[in-house]
């Protein structure tokens, strides 16, 4: 496994981040334990979760599973750089209206404590805002985060689904308080979703914020199952949504991957790993087999010629803003 720094920090994280959103609703606990053990064995030390993971009827389920895995001992907790998130509705009766989607000092304090309890730990290395809340001031947010940092309950603060100018706002407010500020931004970024190249990635690079791409396979479309899907599979449902132009696009992509001798999924991950702003794409395996297949991506080195071909198949926005659209 290869490692890199999380943004501009000294914290080392694996180039693949284990996403746990499937644990509980789609992956039973015993299998989730096996996947997490395999991740550690493979050198993946970066795990991502969120307080809302587990489904509408069992918010927190995924954190509970991770907590029970930590409780098995064997240095599991000590080996993991753990990230979780706050923003979503947790449906706690005691929260009242303050339990709705959003952020506040009140909510962050309560939901952080609840996450730590479910995770059976006294701290998380990375605490992330799951979404921007425009009407909440940065004075309030940085105050509550600085208190959690001082108490050692969180190590760093990250964001998710922020625009480029939101990152700039956050860092300017943090600088006023002499705080480190954001160290990571978790963002939807893949070969089919390249809009972040306009503003978010340049802003993150400039500010020293590491990009953690979610949905690196575009909801499965880049996983190689949309052209010849198994009957009744998710791939079959995705295949029915393809336009003729999209089908042609995926046919070209599949042909290129065959030429390289690599799977479509791993080429998509390798492309993300080749982007300078990217720290670690989030992989979300449902089975141990899916997890093991993904490990190959770290070893794939895409040549400039291949990267150019991928740009031709999946065109980006044309570069950074404003040059991409100004002239």
Q: Known catalytic residues? A: 53
Q: Do residues 191 and 273 touch, judged by C-beta distance below 8 A?
A: no
Residue 5, strand partner residues: 12
* Positive or negative: CA dihedral 257, 258, 260, 264: positive
Q: Give 98-158 as a DSSP string.
A: GGSSS--HHHHHHHHHHHHHHHTSS-EEEEEESS--TTS-HHHHHHHHHHHHHTTSEEEEE
Q: Report the largest interatomic distance among the alpha carbons of the chain, rounded to a whole angstrom.
A: 59
* Residue for token pair 């309560």: 110
Q: b/e for 206-227, b at 16 or more Cβ within 10 A? A: ebebbbbbbbbbbebbbbbbbe
């Amino acid at each position: 496994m290869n490692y890199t720094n999380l943004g501009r920090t000294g914290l080392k994280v694996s180039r693949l981040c284990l996403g746990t959103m499937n644990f509980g609703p789609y992956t039973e606990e015993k299998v989730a334990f096996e996947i997490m053990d395999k991740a550690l064995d493979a050198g993946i030390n970066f795990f991502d979760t969120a307080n809302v993971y587990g489904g509408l009827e069992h918010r927190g389920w995924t954190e509970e599973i991770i907590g029970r895995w930590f409780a098995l001992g064997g240095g599991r907790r000590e080996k993991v750089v753990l990230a979780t998130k706050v923003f979503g509705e947790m449906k706690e009766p005691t929260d009242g209206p303050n339990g709705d989607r959003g952020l506040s000092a009140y909510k962050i304090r309560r939901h952080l404590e609840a996450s730590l309890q479910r995770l059976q730990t006294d701290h998380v290395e990375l605490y992330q805002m799951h979404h921007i809340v425009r009407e909440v001031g940065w004075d309030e947010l940085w105050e509550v985060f600085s208190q959690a940092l001082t108490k050692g309950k969180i190590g760093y603060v990250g964001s998710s689904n922020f625009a480029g100018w939101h990152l700039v706002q956050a860092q300017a407010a943090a600088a006023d308080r002499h705080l480190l500020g954001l160290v990571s931004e978790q963002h939807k970024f893949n070969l089919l979703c390249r809009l972040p190249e306009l503003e978010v990635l340049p802003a993150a690079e400039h500010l020293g914020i590491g990009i953690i791409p979610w949905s690196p396979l575009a909801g499965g479309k880049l996983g190689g199952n949309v052209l010849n899907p198994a009957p009744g599979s998710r791939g079959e449902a995705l295949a029915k949504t393809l336009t003729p132009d999209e089908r042609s696009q995926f046919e070209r992509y599949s042909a290129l991957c065959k030429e390289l001798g690599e799977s479509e999924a791993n080429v998509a991950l390798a492309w993300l790993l080749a982007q300078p702003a990217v720290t670690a794409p989030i992989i979300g395996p449902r089975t141990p087999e899916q997890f093991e297949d993904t490990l190959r991506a770290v070893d794939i080195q895409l040549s400039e010629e291949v990267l150019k071909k991928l740009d031709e198949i999946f065109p980006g926005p044309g570069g950074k803003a404003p040059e991409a659209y100004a002239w």
